[in-house]
Structure 1
Amino acid sequence: MKKYARAIVSLVFSFIKFSLIKIFHIKNFKFTLFNLVSPFTELEIGRKASITLGRKINIKSGTKIRARSGAEIIIGKNTFINHNCMIVSHKRISIGENVRFGPNTLIYDHDHDYQSENGFKKNLYKTTSVEIGNNVWIGANVVILRGTTIGDNCVVGAGSIIKGNYSSNQTIVQKRETTVFTHK
């Protein structure tokens, strides 16, 4: 019974929250009525930025979705975003349909431009879009960096840090060795 009560609260809360965001970002925020979004989810839309949410999106608590000035975030229908995920765009992040995110997943389409003169001071960034296909499962604690494309029907193993192009129907696992040191 608790599960259904929580779902109803999330539906009502999502509608109210999204309607208020829509008032301030009429053209730049698109959503449908049937989304389950935790009251503890943050959505931030910068100047000339946009966020588009498909139908039946489920977003758990602690998640932060931020479209910075001029950026675009698109999330396809029936996508599940687990607890404490962060999606931050300075250019464009596109997430397909039926995508599942494990907790603590981070997606960034930008890096600090530390090589430019005063790059940190001036908040300069290098940006390249991130594209995630349909029916993708992304494990817990994954970091997806700028310039990454993940094809349809892929699985990304927990704890992976990925950048690059991955074609459809692949399992992406980042293998690491564990080194053990003995203390005297």
Structure 2
Amino acid sequence: MKIDRLISKLKGDSNYKIESEYSNVELMKVIYYRFFQVVRGTFSKLLFIKTNGLFFKGRNVKIRQSQLITAGKNLILGDNVFLDALSVNGIKFGNNVSIERNSIIVCTGVIAKKGIGVIIGNNTGINANAFIGGQGGVYIGNHVIIGPGVMIFSENHKFEGSGFLNQQGETRIGVHINDNCWIGSGSKILDGVCLGSRTVVAAGAVVTKSFDGNCLIGGVPAKILKKI
């Protein structure tokens, strides 16, 4: 199939293969949608986005502080994605990163304290309605799957003093998700968490501490369910 070879070349993956059967009408509609994403992305590249390859930009994508965003090849931003890169390090995307519709990446919460930023590695996919807060720094490695509705927080609020809660300041440690992890739908990852390679997070889990990897974790708070 010719489209196999085209996608394989774009991704730089010689093993890429479409495993399902599609009608010509279905394929033409996919190509039509991607074509207009590329057109929108090309105009954005000419104006403000620095990428090393194709940029597939959906409808109603909002980007703030675009001068702080860099990307490798084949960045895909679905409809209604919102990016605010204001931070020390900005937002850095690797090759073949996709962020699906209605997802949000924000790197600074309040102007009084600039955030650190977000790094997302190669071949990582973030599904719809995800939220990533990069105030304390978020690193997501290569070949990571992030399900719909996942939330990642890299900042926490202090609350033990006697004053107003919004005046007690924040703590920032950062979140580090290593290569080859799968973060299930609706999971929440809190500040200070480091997930080792091949960590699978069950849907709906609340991850409050770090795990070494090669494990399935789940629950509230998350704990090891089994080694993998």
Normalising by structure 2, report the TM-score.
0.69
- Indicate the larger mover: 150-159 or 39-48: 39-48
Confirm whether residue 132 of structure 1 aligns to residue 177 of structure 2.
Answer: yes
* Distance (whole Å) between structure 2 residues aligned to residue 139 and residue 152 of structure 1: 15
Q: Aligned-pair distance for 1:162?
A: 0.4
Confirm whether residue 72 of structure 1 aligns to residue 112 of structure 2.
Answer: no
Q: 2:103 aligns with which of 57, 63, 70?
A: 63
Q: 1:168 aligns with which of 202, 213, 218?
A: 213
Confirm whether residue 153 of structure 1 aligns to residue 193 of structure 2.
Answer: no
The 8 Å contact of residues 126 and 147 in structure 2, kept in 1 or not, is answered as yes
Q: Aligned-pair distance for 1:14?
A: 4.0
**Aligned residue pair count:** 175
Q: Aligned-pair distance for 1:17?
A: 4.2
Describe the SS at the equivalent of 2:156: strand
- The residue that corresponds to 2:147 in the other structure is 102
The 8 Å contact of residues 105 and 132 in structure 2, kept in 1 or not, is answered as yes
* Distance (whole Å) between structure 2 residues aligned to residue 47 and residue 92 of structure 1: 9
- Indicate the larger mover: 151-160 or 46-55: 46-55
The structure that has the greater radius of gyration is: 2
1:99-151 CA-partner distances (Å, limit 9, x unpaired): 11110000001112222454533372111110001111111000000010101
The one-letter code matched in structure 2 to 1:164 is: K
* Distance (whole Å) between structure 2 residues aligned to residue 121 and residue 174 of structure 1: 29
The 8 Å contact of residues 127 and 147 in structure 2, kept in 1 or not, is answered as yes
- The residue that corresponds to 1:7 in the other structure is 34
The 8 Å contact of residues 14 and 37 in structure 1, kept in 2 or not, is answered as no
Describe the SS at the equivalent of 1:2: helix
What is the alpha-carbon root mean square deviation over aligned residues? 2.3
The one-letter code matched in structure 2 to 1:4 is: I
Normalising by structure 1, report the TM-score.
0.84
Confirm whether residue 83 of structure 1 aligns to residue 128 of structure 2.
Answer: yes
Describe the SS at the equivalent of 1:7: helix
Greater per-residue helix proportion: 2
* Distance (whole Å) between structure 2 residues aligned to residue 175 and residue 148 of structure 1: 14
Identity of aligned residues (%): 25
The 8 Å contact of residues 113 and 119 in structure 1, kept in 2 or not, is answered as no
The 8 Å contact of residues 15 and 33 in structure 1, kept in 2 or not, is answered as no
Q: Aligned-pair distance for 1:25?
A: 4.7
